[in-house]
Chains A and B, each alone.
Chain A
Amino acid sequence: MSDTAVAPTPAPTPAAGSSTGSAPAPKSNQVLRDIAGGSVVISILAVVLALIVGGILIALTDENVQAASGYFFSRPGDTINAIWVSVSGAYGALFQGSVYNFGALDFAKGIKPLTDTLTFATPLIVAGLGVGLAFRAGMFNIGGQGQMLIAAAAAGWVGYSFPLPYGLHLVLAVLAGIAGGAIWGGIVGLLKARTGAHEVIVTIMLNYVAVYLVSYMLRTPGLLQAPGSNNPKTPAMLPTAVYPDLLGPGYNLHAGLLVSIAATVFVWWLLSRSSLGFKFRAVGINPNAARVAGIDVKRSYVTVMLLSGGLIGLAGVAQVLGTVTTGFSSGIDAGIGFDAITVALLGRSKPWGIFVAGILFGAFKAGGFSMQAGQGIPVDIVLVVQSLIVLFIAAPPLVRAVFRLPTPGVAVKKKPVALSKAVAAK
C-alpha cells in the first residue's frame, strides 16, 4: 500500500461495505484489526501449538530422552516413554504451580498456586490494558518498562517517605504512581503529536533512560536509597501505603487485583461507552478519516499515551505496593512491560480479552517458577511459549494451515478486502 493507493479507495467502499474494506489506513491498524477479527478458536489453537513446540524443545533437551534415543531403533518405547515423562512432568508442574497443587494436604494449601497466578496476573492485566488501549488508538507502546519504573519510583517514594493515615496514604501513593507512568507515557504522545517522532523508538529509548535514571536515584542517598544502606534499594513501604491482603497473610494475593478489575471495567467503559474512547478507536482505525470527522488526532495521541502510561503505571504500583513491599531495586519491572505487549496481543486489545490473557500469562509465570524448581526446566521456556503464542495468533493463516482448518466465515469476509485491495493497488 503506498500513498497513491489512498485516493481511489473511497470509491469501492460502498460496494465493499465493510469497515475492513476501506483500509489503506496505517498498516499497524490494519494488522491489529486482523488480530481482533480472528476467532477465539485460533487463540486456543495458537496456545496449543505453542505448547507443543515448547514440549518438543523440552523433550529434545532432556537428558533421559537423549540417552534413550541412542538406542531408539532397538527399543523405541524407551524414547517415547522418556519424552512422555519429561514433557508431562514439565507441563504437570506448570499446571500444579499455577492452578491447583494436588500434592497439598488440604484445599486451602492446594489452591495457593491459583492465588499466586492471580498475583502475577495483577500487574500483567493493567499493563496489558495500557498497551492495548494504545493499540486501539494506533499507537505501539513498548515503553512499559520505563513507565513502570518511573511509576514504581513515584509510588514507592510516597509509600515510604511520609507517615499518613491508612487509606489516604495508599490512595496518594497509587495516584503518584499513575502520575509517574502517565508523565513517562505522555512524553511519547507529546513528541509524536508535536514532532512526529515514531513512538516505538521513543518508548524504547525512554525505557533505557528510565532504567538509568532510577538506578541512579536508587544508589544516591537522599533520593531513593534506603538510609544507612549501601545497596541500590529503597526502604520498605510503610504499612499504611501497602495494598491490603485479600485472603489473609497466608497468601500473596493483594488488593491490587481489585484495582486491575476496576481498571478493566474502566477501559471497557472508556472504549465502548465514552466519546473519548470512540475518538481513540476512530483514530486507531483511520486517523485520516478521524481528522476529516473533526477529531483532534494529535490531542488523541497525547491523551491516549497519558492514559496508557497511567495504566502501566498501575502495574508498577502493584509491584511496589503489593508484591514486593520490602523495598525495591531497579529490576522491579520484572519484564512485565514487555510481557504486557504479548498480553495485549493475545487479548486482542479488548479489555476482557486482556483480562483473560493476563491471567493466562500470570499462570505461565507462577507455573514456570515451580516448573524450574520441581523439574529443573529453565523458566525461560515460558518466554518461548509466550512469544510463540503471539506469533501464531498474529498469523491466523499459519495456524489454520497447521491444523488443516477450513477458513469458515473468513472466506466470505476476505473477498471484499481482496477486491478493495485490488482496486486500491491499481
Chain B
Amino acid sequence: MIRFVAKRLALMPLLLWGIVTIAFLLSHAVADNPLASIVGERNLGNPDIVRAATERWGLDKSLPEQYFLYIANLLQGDMGTSFRTKAPVGSDLADRLPATLELAAMALVFAIVIGTLLGVLAARMRGRIVDSVVRVLALLGSSLPVFWVGLIFLFIFYASLGVAAGPGRLSARVIPPPDATGFYTVDALLAGDWPLFVDAFGHLLMPALIMSLALLGTVIRIVRSQMLEEQGSDYARTARAKGMTRGQVLNRHVLRNAITPVITIVGVSVGLLIMGAVLIETIFSWNGIGTYAVESSRALDFPAITGVCLVGGCIFLVANLVTDIAYAVVDPRVRLS
C-alpha cells in the first residue's frame, strides 16, 4: 500500500511535467501571436509599440529560452502573468478554483444521491417497468448535451417561470460572504448568514444538477449491478435465513457494500466534471476555472492556458490517487499494485 502510493507520487511529477510541456508547446505552437490582447489591435501595425510589448512580456526570447524560464519560475511557484487579466496566473486560478470546486462537489453529491436512489430502485424492481425507466433515464443523462440543457433550463425555469435562480453565484444585490474557504455556501454558514446560504445554494442548484446528469448513468449502473450481485451473495442469504426481512438485509448489508464502488466515481468523473465545468460555467456565467479556460484560450493567453492545464491535470491525478487509496481502505479485497 505504502509502496503503491510512493510509486504513484513519484510518477506524478513526471506526468505533470509532461502536461506542462504539452500545454506550453501547444499554446506556443499557435500561429498567431497574443500581442493584440496586450497592445490592442490598433497598435499591431506600430513597430515601436510592438517591440516595447514583446520585450516587456518576454516574447522576444526564443522558444527554448521561454520554456526554461517558465519551468524555472514554475519551480519557484510562479506561473507567470496573464496577458489578458494582467494579474499573476496563480492568483487568478486561486480566485476561481473554489467556484469550480463548489460546483463540481455539488454535482458529485447530486449524482451520487440521485444515482444511488435510482440504482437501488432499479435493482429492487429488477425486470419491471421501473427498472427499464431508470435505465432509460441513466442513458438519457449521458446523452444530453449539457450546454443545450443549460440553455433550455434557464429559458424555462429562470426566464419563463421565474422559479429558479439565474446565472452567477449569487443574486445581483447580494454581497458575497467574508472569504474563508471560497465556497459561498460554506462561507455563508460560517458567517451564520442563513439567507445568504439559501441564495448561494439556490444558484448552485441548477448548474450542479445539470452537471450531475453526465455522471448519473454511471452511478446508477454501478449501484444497480452491485446491488444485484450482493443480494445473491452468501452473507445476504445467511442474514435472510436468520430471519431478517428482505428490506433489513438490503438496508443494513447490501446497500452498504453496493455503494462502495461509487467512491470510484469521484476519481473517474473528474475528467467529465472538468468538461462539464467548461460548458456549464459558460452558460451560467459562473466565474470559475472553466470560463477562465475558455476566455484564456480565446485570448491566446499562453501562461493562463498552461496554468489551467497544470491545475486540471493536478486535480485529475490527485483525485485518482485519493480514490484508489480510499477504495483500498474501504474494500480490503482490492490489492493495489
A and B held together in a complex:
no
Q: Which residues of A contact B (CB under 8 A)?
A: none
Q: Which residues of B contact A (CB under 8 A)?
A: none
